[in-house]
Amino acid sequence: MRLFVTGGTGYLGSALVEAALAAGYGVRATVRSAAKAAVLPAAVEQVTCDLLDEDALVKVMTGCDGVIHLAASLGMTPEDSRRINVGGTRTLLRAAARAKVGRFVYTSSSAAIIQASGLVSETGPNTTALTDIYSVTKCEAEGEVFAASREGFDARIVNVVNAYGPSPLGPASYNALFLAFVRGEIDTVVDAPVGWVVAEDVAAAHLAAFEGGEAGKRYIVCGEVAPFSRVLNGFAELWGSERRVNALPPGRELGPKAHPFGRRSEVYGKLGPVVVDDAQARAIGISPRGLAEGLAEAVRWIKGMQGAG
């Protein structure tokens, strides 16, 4: 079987590509530049395509059995974010149906479905309590997936919590928070409990959702819920650092000079404590590792990369 993958050169996407190849899938991946494509194994078929060009997408998708759509806009203008995250998802869904691709997996976020109470549920409404443009547009993109499913297209969603650990791209995502902390660039966070998951487990979950999931359903990938202080201090201890984070109670503010990752903890601190309802994921065998194993693996991997460098 051949998968058409968008975002395959990113942090989670490159982990997904590696897992798909290991599982025996063929992979056709979209690329934007030769520099970004360097992270992809030689076995990957690379295609250059505008994700808003439906006719071009039909051509490059033809012959694939499924789509896994990880590409997303992060840190762009609200207009560009909506155009790419929502419009791009809509265009990909239409192109996949026209190309007779059998199945579509959309990579979303817990931020797209979190409620003010802190509940992150696979069966919750298509709404989010967060107001940043990334969370809002990922929520809107989920609406496009549900609409396609109601029209009979086999589309399902994977919702990812805070991801960390090994990836072919290197120590991006929440690995960057851990490293910033042990380097002394962050000293204070709001101690909000949130979900955490290893990137390799996110990749495995996408394949499980593709193979065993159902159209119109969400699958949340979460290894464990824990407050920022426990995760940062746990990483520092394994790293061999004596640093410990200053943890403010949920609801407090960090001030105008807060690090972006610290600011994220502040945002979650304004909501209720996170509770994850992932029964649908567990029912199809998605069972990510917890923090004890995940953080130890992350430390070994990052130290190994630094040693190799």
**Predicted confidence (pLDDT) per residue in 105-136, tens digit:** 999 999 999 999 999 999 999 999 999 999 99
How many structural domains are present in the chain? 2
pLDDT tens per residue across span 41-92: 999 999 998 999 999 999 999 999 999 999 998 777 889 899 999 999 999 9
Strands 155-160 and 103-109: parallel
Q: Residue 309: is its pLDDT beyond 60?
A: no
Q: Which tokens sit at 21?
A: 């190849």
pLDDT tens per residue across span 253-298: 998 888 888 899 999 999 999 999 999 999 999 999 999 999 999 9
Among the listed residues 286, 295, 297, the one whose alpha carbon sits nearest the alpha carbon of residue 159 = 286
Task: Please say whether the beta carbons of 54 and 95 come within 8 A.
Answer: yes
Q: Between the CA atoms of 174, 176, 182 and 185, what dihedral angle is there, to the nearest 10 degrees?
A: -120
Same domain, 22 and 102: yes
Supply the pLDDT for residue 167.
98
Among the listed residues 151, 140, 279, the one whose alpha carbon sits nearest the alpha carbon of residue 218 = 279
Task: Please say whether the beta carbons of 34 and 48 come within 8 A.
Answer: no
Same domain, 40 and 71: yes
**Which helix or strand (DSSP H or E) is residue 292 part of?**
helix 291-308
Same domain, 126 and 254: no
Mean pLDDT of the region 228-237:
98
Same domain, 249 and 206: no
Mean pLDDT of the region 175-190:
96
Same domain, 146 and 183: no
Q: Between the CA atoms of 272, 78, 260 and 221, what dihedral angle is there, to the nearest 10 degrees?
A: 50
Supply the pLDDT for residue 308.
59
pLDDT tens per residue across span 82-104: 999 999 999 999 999 999 999 99
Supply the pLDDT for residue 33.
85
Task: Please say whether the beta carbons of 234 and 204 come within 8 A.
Answer: no
- Domain with residue 214: its CATH number is 3.40.50.720
Does any domain span residue 278? Answer: no
Does any domain span residue 89? Answer: yes
Does any domain span residue 281? Answer: no
Same domain, 104 and 252: no
What count of Cα atoms within 13 Å lies in the side-chain half-sphere of residue 2?
A: 15
Supply the pLDDT for residue 32.
87
Same domain, 208 and 93: yes
Q: Which residues contact 105 (CB under 8 A, 6 or more apart)?
A: 66, 67, 68, 69, 155, 156, 157, 158, 206, 209, 210, 213
Same domain, 137 and 252: no
> Could you tell me the residue range of the domain that residue 269 belongs to?
165-195+224-273+289-308
Same domain, 10 and 134: yes
Same domain, 105 and 179: no
Same domain, 150 and 174: no
Mean pLDDT of the region 10-39:
95
Supply the pLDDT for residue 126.
98
Mean pLDDT of the region 183-211:
97
Q: Residue 31: is its pLDDT beyond 60?
A: yes
* CA 1, chain centre distance (Å): 23
The percent of residues in the chain predicted with pLDDT above 70, rounded, is 99
